[in-house]
Amino acid sequence: MPELTAAAAAHPNIALIKYWGNRDDALRLPANGSLSMNLGGLETRTRVTFDPALEADHLILNDAVAASGELARVSAFLDTVRQLAGIPHRAGVESWNNFPTGAGIASSAAAFAALSLAASAAAGLDLSEKDLSRLARRGSGSACRSVPGGYVEWLPGSSDLDSYAVSIAPPEHWALADCITVVSAGPKPLGSSQGHRLASSSPFQKARVAGAPRRLAQARRAILSRDFDALAQVIELDSNLMHAVMLTGQPALLYFLPGSIAVMQAVLAWRGEGLPVAYTLDAGPNVHVLCPAAEAESVRQRLARLPGVLRVLVALPGGQARWIHPPA
């Protein structure tokens, strides 16, 4: 019997056109298509070993035994892999992030992208990028966007079969930088999975979703033509639309912190002065400030001086999820 082990790495991603709300929560079929950039330099490495001797799955995150809720989510995901591969064995999963925990970088996208690749390979499956992306989506919606490389679009699809992400441009297409501006290292008030379920409680979600294809097309065009101004306009609008939906659901989700607003106001003022910068916030208080890579160091220094800013990490476009050998 072959050794049922494999390891993989994947980057987190920042959504430029947001995913918020599902048509199907169980399958994580999104209410609208979305678009993201992988965050190079930041990555999750994951090793999976299916072992007939194990009585239960176990999960080590950053060298510590994971909480039961995290294990349950991974175990449910492994069930999908086991079913696909037709194997019954429990698995041991070890995973490390090279970016600081509590840096406010959503880790589930990188985690489930790396896990999809490692677990499917360990189970003897040889999945296409499309099927890996579909699989990653089952673990965490935005994880499907961490499977392909560079600038990535999640095609919302209408079923499990056609909801997956594709690269629209490789990392080297456009040297943008994401200056990840950390204003809180604390846990989020609400996990994204629960947040997605609240989306439809806002009277604004329907209009947000209805306009998403148009904004997605604008953002895709801006990326393909490397038009920073056009990208800036549409990603800030799209981020504002998502946070407006969050703010008006029941219960309301107010992810902004004082430092978030300090950064957003500064970005607006700087762009007014001619600096090419734009903000976007995922489901949390930290602000991703996009700019051409050539401006990143200067923007990083400006951001670091703002009140409420704890640290700034700079990421350039990252590649696709990949196997790593030998297993970490």
Q: Which residues bind a second copy (CB under 8 A)?
A: 203-204, 206-208, 210-211, 236-237, 240-241, 243-245, 247-248, 250, 252, 254, 256-262, 264-265, 268, 307-308
Shortest spacing between CB 261 and a second copy, in angstroms? 5
> Which residues sit opposite 152 in a β-bridge?
36, 167
* Structure tokens given for 213: 């294809």
157 — alpha (psi -120 to 50), left (phi > 0) or beta? left
Shortest spacing between CB 203 and a second copy, in angstroms? 4
The separation between CA 117 and the C-alpha centre of its own chain, rounded to angstroms, equals 16
Give the CA angle between residues 12, 322, 56 to the nearest 5°: 80
Of 78 and 262, nearer to a second copy (C-beta) is: 262
Of 292 and 308, nearer to a second copy (C-beta) is: 308
Shortest spacing between CB 156 and a second copy, in angstroms? 19
Q: At residue 269, what are phi and psi to the nearest 5 degrees? A: -65, -45
Of 214 and 221, nearer to a second copy (C-beta) is: 214
Comparing CA positions, the residue from 2, 78, 11 lying closest to residue 322 is 11
- Answer whether the bond into residue 251 is a cis peptide, omega within 30°: yes
Of 11 and 243, nearer to a second copy (C-beta) is: 243
Q: Do residues 232 and 277 touch, judged by C-beta distance below 8 A?
A: yes
Of 27 and 310, nearer to a second copy (C-beta) is: 310
Q: Could you tell me where the beta strands, DSSP code E, fall in 189-285?
A: 278-280
Shortest spacing between CB 264 and a second copy, in angstroms? 6
3-class SS of residue 113: helix
Of 57 and 236, nearer to a second copy (C-beta) is: 236
Shortest spacing between CB 222 and a second copy, in angstroms? 16
Task: Please report how many Cα atoms fall inside a 13 Å half-sphere around the Cα of residue 195, on the Cβ side.
Answer: 21
Look at the chain and count its residues. 328
Comparing CA positions, the residue from 281, 296, 306 lying closest to residue 105 is 281
Q: 26: burial class by Cβ within 10 Å (0-12, 13-18, 19+)? A: exposed
* Structure tokens given for 77: 């995901």
Of 138 and 271, nearer to a second copy (C-beta) is: 271
Shortest spacing between CB 66 and a second copy, in angstroms? 29
Shortest spacing between CB 265 and a second copy, in angstroms? 7
Shortest spacing between CB 155 and a second copy, in angstroms? 23
Of 78 and 309, nearer to a second copy (C-beta) is: 309
